[in-house]
Structure 1
């Protein structure tokens, strides 16, 4: 059985919400997309990415292939317009089935796994993550780095032949949980605080998500914030 909670908020400093998400226990698909571009371009890119992935997964396509197809759709849509503004989106998605789980992502929206502790499954496709991997900065420095939001991969921005859809797979175990979220949560709330909330089994998944969104707002709400918590019972 799958229990899940979900929610999104525009935040305290933005006028539009360019985040979007999809949560469907019957399909076993949960995803968050964070659009970018301004003048509603981000909203369009994120929604197009979401809808394309959902349609392709529903038609039987593997998750990573569906995301690559979504990137093609966003690029094609953007090329119809003579506009200097970019149109792009991150995506982080999980597909749960009887065989286990598949995870795929592009950008800096994140996926965490809870299994007797919180573990970040995804790694950000960002300039600062490259610096961390190279040992040039540590995690604490990365969290405050002025270029921490500069992405190296994004749907609609990265050319298809250079796009890297990162993947992870695994088997489900009882009481495992997954958190899918945009960077509006992780910019404001530490992994330790996220772990403390996800660990609260006495709360329903929806209550945990509500608390996470409020925590992001309490810490500044500088961006749109979106989260989905999925528990495997």
Structure 2
């Protein structure tokens, strides 16, 4: 049995919530998208991504291809607006079928796996600071306060479809495992240790854990929109 919790919050310093999410146990699809671009465009881009991916998955399109189609649709919508600012969005999504899961992502929204009281980050951020970490130029701790930590190197609607890197990863989802999808509004304010402390409360429902994580992000400063989806296998 799959149980999931979900919540999005505008945060404490933004007027608009440009994040969106989706969760459907019957379809076996969960996603988080974090929009970017001025004049409400981030909100439009993340919603377009959600709608395109859900529609494509319903039609039987593979997850990676569904995300590529979303990229093309956002680029088309952006061109119609003929605005100088492109609109874009990150996305992280998971499909669950039986005991198997597949995740895919573009940008710096993340997916974590919680298993046997250990937290593992499955996704790797498509970001400027992640490239610096990979090169050994800065540490993970230094990345948390780096002035360019919010610069993504890949985003739907912004990255040319030929250069779009939709990364995927798959595995078995065993009873007791939890998958956490989140926008960077959570990870900016709450480190892996803080996330682990909340997920360790296995007596809590998935929704209670999600509420706790969002509350922790707001306590940490709430500098951005924050969205959390937690999928738990019983």
Bucket of the pairwise TM-score, normalised by the shorter protein: over 0.9
1:56-108 deviations in whole A, cap 9, x for unaligned? Answer: 01111111110011001100110112211120000000000015000000000
Distance 2:38 2:23 in 1: 25
8 Å contact 2:68–2:166 — kept in the other structure? yes
User: Which residue number corresponds to residue 91 of structure 1?
Assistant: 91
TM-align CA RMSD: 0.7
Give the C-alpha shift of residue 219 in structure 1.
0.8
User: Which residue number corresponds to residue 165 of structure 2?
Assistant: 164
Distance 2:111 2:173 in 1: 15
User: Which residue number corresponds to residue 31 of structure 2?
Assistant: 31
Give the C-alpha shift of residue 176 in structure 1.
0.7
User: Which residue number corresponds to residue 110 of structure 1?
Assistant: 110
Other structure's SS at 1:137 match: coil
Other structure's SS at 1:16 match: coil
User: Which residue number corresponds to residue 175 of structure 2?
Assistant: 174
Distance 2:13 2:99 in 1: 42
User: Which residue number corresponds to residue 61 of structure 1?
Assistant: 61
Give the C-alpha shift of residue 198 in structure 1.
1.1
User: Which residue number corresponds to residue 230 of structure 2?
Assistant: 229
Distance 2:15 2:99 in 1: 42
Residue pairs, 1:1-233, within 5 angstroms: 1-98=1-98, 100-116=100-116, 117-233=118-234
Distance 2:191 2:46 in 1: 25
Segments of structure 1 that go 5 or more residues without pairing to the other structure are none
Distance 1:171 1:135 in 2: 32
1:16-35 deviations in whole A, cap 9, x for unaligned? Answer: 00000001111110000000
Distance 2:62 2:93 in 1: 12
Distance 1:164 1:65 in 2: 11
Other structure's SS at 1:180 match: strand
Segments of structure 2 that go 5 or more residues without pairing to the other structure are none
Question: Aligned pair count?
Answer: 233
Other structure's SS at 2:16 match: coil
Other structure's SS at 1:79 match: helix
Deviating above 4 A after TM superposition, structure 1's stretches of 4 or more consecutive aligned residues are none
Give the C-alpha shift of residue 123 in structure 1.
0.6
